[in-house]
Amino acid sequence: MEAVVSGQPFSTYQHQFEVLSRRSDEIVDKYLDVRNLNDDPYKTLVQSTSAHASEAAILRLFWWLWIILFTTMVIHFAWHLGNPAWRPT
Query: Are 65 and 89 in the same domain?
Result: yes
What is residue 66's predicted lDDT score, i.e. its pLDDT? 95
| C-alpha to C-alpha distance for 62 and 54, rounded to whole angstroms | 12
Query: Are 1 and 44 in the same domain?
Result: yes
What is residue 17's predicted lDDT score, i.e. its pLDDT? 72
Q: Average pLDDT per run of 10 along the chain, which is 89 residues long?
A: 55 70 76 80 74 76 95 93 79
Query: Are 58 and 44 in the same domain?
Result: no
Query: Are 83 and 59 in the same domain?
Result: yes
Query: Are 40 and 58 in the same domain?
Result: no
**Number of structural domains the chain divides into:** 2
Query: Are 62 and 43 in the same domain?
Result: no
What is residue 80's predicted lDDT score, i.e. its pLDDT? 87
- The interaxial angle of helices 12-22 and 25-35, nearest 10 deg, is 130
What is residue 71's predicted lDDT score, i.e. its pLDDT? 97
What is residue 33's predicted lDDT score, i.e. its pLDDT? 81
**Domain range holding 67?**
49-89
Query: Are 53 and 78 in the same domain?
Result: yes
What is residue 74's predicted lDDT score, i.e. its pLDDT? 96
